[in-house]
Amino acid sequence: MSTTRQYELIYLTQPDASEEALGELHKQVLAVVDRFSGTIERTENWGRRKLAYEIGHQREATYVLEVINGPGAMTAELDRRLRVFDSVIRHLIVRVDEDLASADRSKTKRKENMAKRRVRRGLPPEPTDAELHRRREESDDFDGIGDGPYRGGGGER
Amino acid sequence: MSDFDGGRGRSGGRDKDKDKGKDEKGGRRTFFRRRRVCKFCVEKIDYISYKDVKLLAPFIPERGKIQPRRISGVCALHQRALQNAIKRARQIALVPYTTD
């Protein structure tokens, strides 16, 4: 009995790969996953992207991401298979379940701690909308996740 | 120096005013204005994904090297995760190994 784990598979194909070729690749992946009685959770086609560096004289590639649940032996087989295809110029399989689980844990822990602290101070466990709004107004250097003041942090040394 | 870094990484340096005060009192490092806070702690980012180029980009200066945390102010825990993410992103050409 093998344990099921979650993996992310990303593969890069030639930029001129047709829809059918991509469909064929997906089918091949699916076949391997099926054989190991795994499941494909979702598939994302990122489309053509510029590469950060040239791979085999190509400057662009089509990226496809597949999130797969299955046993570890499956990855070895996927790896072997993907290496054979000429149209796949690069691929990467990463195990993600542990990292995502630990991220989840720290998130819930942080929430719990916050709720505890707030209750101790005699506040409702969750911040109210009014509070959140005020906090947004007050902070002068941070206006939301993602668009922090760090854009281009490398340059402003 | 390393003591200093360790102390500031995760818990310290939340408040930029506090930082400034310390610099002035010490009489050194005043030329170094960079706020020393860990972006991932402040923004409560638990999982640093290798797919998120926008998240990684600020930590990759022009040359393509990974920015040391003594400059970026990232805490040790998150620098390790960041390093992994950048290395994975490099493998699939989302991020450069080098640029010249």
Domain ranges of chain A: 5-95, 104-138
Tell me the sheet residues that pair with A49: A61
Query: 3-state class of A141 per DSSP?
Result: coil
Instruction: Collect all residues of chain A within an 8 Å Cβ-Cβ radius of residue B61.
Output: 154-155
Query: Has the ipTM of the complex gone over 0.95?
Result: no
Four-CA torsion B92, B93, B98, B100, nearest 10 degrees: 160
Does A94 contact B at CB distance below 8 Å? yes
d(CA A68, CA A43): 9
The angle at the Cα of B69, spanning B65 to B71, to the nearest 5 degrees, equals 85
Q: What would the mean pLDDT of A12-18 be, rounded to a whole number?
A: 89
Indicate yes or no: CB of A153 within 8 angstroms of CB of B95: no
CATH topology assigned to domain B2-91: 30s Ribosomal Protein S18 (4.10.640)
Q: Does domain A5-95 have CATH number 3.40.630.30?
A: no
DSSP state of A48: E
Nearest Cα residue in chain B from A150: B58
Per-residue pLDDT tens over the stretch A39-95: 999 999 999 999 999 998 889 999 999 999 999 999 999 999 999 988 899 999 999
Query: 3-state class of A154 per DSSP?
Result: coil
Instruction: Collect all residues of chain A within an 8 Å Cβ-Cβ radius of residue B87.
Output: none
d(CA B5, CA B25): 18
Q: Are strands A39-55 and A88-95 parallel, antiparallel or unpaired?
A: unpaired
d(CA A123, CA A18): 58
Read off φ and ψ for residue A13, nearest 5 degrees. -115, 165
The answer to whether the pTM exceeds 0.80 is no
Q: Are B23 and B29 in contact (CB under 8 A)?
A: yes
